[in-house]
Amino acid sequence: MITEKPNVRSENIDRKSTVEILEIMNEEDKNVPLAVGKEINNIAKAVDEVIKSFKNGGRLIYVGAGTSGRLGVLDASECPPTFSTDKNQVIAIIAGGKNAMFEAIEGAEDDEEAAIADLKEIDVNNRDVVIGITASGNTPYTVSAVKYAKSIGCTTVGISCNLDSLIKNIADIAITPIVGPEIIAGSTRLKAGSAQKLVLNMISTASMIGIGKVYNNYMVDLNPSNTKLRDRAKRIIMDTTGVDEKTAYKFLKESEYKPKVAIIMIKTGLDSKSAQNLLNRCNDSIYQALDHFKREEV
């Protein structure tokens, strides 16, 4: 596997200066976004399936072990504060359970039955999209999860960094950024991990855009649960409507701290409940809601 091979560019790295080591790492890391870029069409296929799943009441489920599993947990955990998603809309399962986030759980990545049991525990169903994340593409836990998910009718995606792997040959959609050998042979938390992080960012973010969680390029569905996020929500309202800070905060409070609703209120003159109802009728999209309101006005 290319992810396990030694990298000729980092030969004798243990005899290099600190600056030389970092320069080698930096040069190798430059290959990561290029490798991901070659997979745009496959990533787009995955995004379209996730959007379809969300609109049908399904979920995005990440499955992985070790670094790959932790990256899935990271991406899933950031969706509720960023997009106000339900905590069960994007789920991450990591081999070995929650403790595996902080320490290596011996043998967890080899437990094929545990993968199936973990999916059953969250009642996986054919409306869900299950994404297996594994640098090698051969991790037994992850491959088993994807196999099971596919057997019950889920759309499955495999993210790996080897050309010919089990998960690539099993999943409905294969995303395979080939980043080459790591500077430390087999340490796939490096380039492979970076590639996986980029792909997960793209899938979750583009999917959220697709279901109306973004207006222009603003995260209008953020959950302003602390001072920093409330300030961000105010700035978003100010930038998208042109009102001053005092007015933005007034509408933010009246909307029960829902920036998207506040924007609709300001742009249409509707009260909070009516603005929310308008969004509900228009696929939760500000653009569609404003277009619908204008047509009704005419």
Q: Are strands 90-94 and 129-133 parallel, antiparallel or unpaired?
A: unpaired
Six-digit token pair at 201? 């960012």
Six-digit token pair at 294? 């204008």
What is the distance between the alpha carbons of residues 62 and 76, in angstroms, rounded to a whole number?
A: 8
Asked if 109 is an active-site residue, the reply is: yes
Six-digit token pair at 255? 């909307």
- Sequence-distant (≥ 6) Cβ neighbours of residue 12 within 8 angstroms: none
Sheet containing 90-94: order of strands: 90-94, 60-64, 129-133, 155-159, 173-175
Catalytic residue among 78, 106, 245, 296: 78
What is the distance between the alpha carbons of residues 75 and 221, in angstroms, rounded to a whole number?
A: 17
* Nearest alpha carbon to residue 245 among 228, 225, 265, 230: 230
Question: Could you give the 3-state DSSP secondary structure of residue 16?
Answer: coil
Catalytic residue among 109, 112, 113, 245: 109
The kind and range of the H/E element at 133 are: strand 129-133
CB 237 within 8 A of CB 248: yes
Q: For residue 140, what are the CA distances in angstroms to 43, 117, 144, 193, 278?
A: 23, 14, 6, 18, 47
* Nearest alpha carbon to residue 224 among 196, 186, 251, 190: 251
Amino acid, single-letter form, for residue 272: S
Question: Strand pairing partners for 129?
Answer: 60, 155
Catalytic residues, by residue number, are 78, 109
